[in-house]
Amino acid sequence: MTHFAVVAAAAVIGSVLGYQAAAAMAASDAVSAVDTVSAADARARCIAAEAEAPETCEVSQFGQIGAIGGRQFHYALYQYRNASNNVLDHMRVVVFEAVPPDSMRAVAMTDTDPAVSYDKPKLLHSNGRILLHIPGSESGTGNFNRERLFVWRAGEWHSVDTTAWLDDLSRRLRKSYGILKGIYPDYVTMTASTPLWRDGDGNACASAGRAELQPGWRGDRVVLRNIRRVKAGECGEPLPRRSKVN
């Protein structure tokens, strides 16, 4: 792989991540139009984002996420199926807030794409912030991160920019290095790690070690605080931790 190819690949990643941010905004806009619905309908029907023919939709999972100040949040996993081509099947996560005595309203929603899968949302605590994290990933060799992240402010969920810091990372790397796969930060410890690819590396095997990353917060935006290059095992795998000797 040439230096140009590494840089071009990094540009592709930036483009893909930019798409993620745009999709997040579109999804947030769609949620605002959803009215309060019965709890029974929220559990049984794809009521927040119904399927369009020839697709069908079912609620494949419904569960509790947690509570903030007595306000309960739940999630529904919508599974859309295409009758003519199952390659086009896709999913969506919708987050509901319980409205007593027996109603719910949608407060957050992911985008949907056949290549993207989502996991159960979680409430996290990070540097004095309460976060709603919806893990997501894109299938393929890049395994790109398609998560959604929200922060709790003034009694509402607000979308967090989780991509700008990755553009900063791309700019700060040595010119002969690149990152060709998704990065999945830990928002509780505010840490992340990734293999580093150099000129001539194939996509499957990075040879430039690893980058230990320290994301941070600037307001409610994720930024990059520090990068540290470390040795790695074969193809950029983390080295085993040495056990302490008493």
pLDDT tens track for 194-246? 999 998 899 999 999 999 999 999 999 999 999 999 999 999 999 987 766 55
pLDDT of residue 9: 41
pLDDT of residue 60: 98
pLDDT of residue 43: 98
Among the residue ranges 4-8, 89-93, 188-192, the one predicted with the least confidence is: 4-8
Using DSSP's 3-state secondary structure scheme, residue 217 falls into: strand
pLDDT of residue 31: 56
3-state SS of 19-44 is: HHHHHHHHHHHHHCCCCCEEHHHHHH
CB 171 within 8 A of CB 223: no
Q: What is the pTM of this model?
A: 0.85
pLDDT of residue 27: 43
- Spell out where 90-140 has E strands: 90-99, 103-109, 116-118, 122-126, 129-134, 136-138
Cα distance between residue 87 and residue 159, in whole Å? 30
pLDDT tens track for 146-180? 999 999 999 999 999 999 999 999 999 999 999 99
DSSP 59: E
> Would you tell me how many other CB atoms lie within 10 Å of the CB of residue 161?
15
Cα distance between residue 225 and residue 67, in whole Å? 31
Mean pLDDT throughout 134-155?
95
Mean pLDDT throughout 125-147?
96
The length of the chain is 246
Answer whether residue 69 shows pLDDT above 90. yes
* Averaged pLDDT score across all residues of the chain: 87
pLDDT of residue 246: 58
Burial of 159 (0-12, 13-18, 19+ CB in 10 A): middle
Cα distance between residue 210 and residue 193, in whole Å? 7
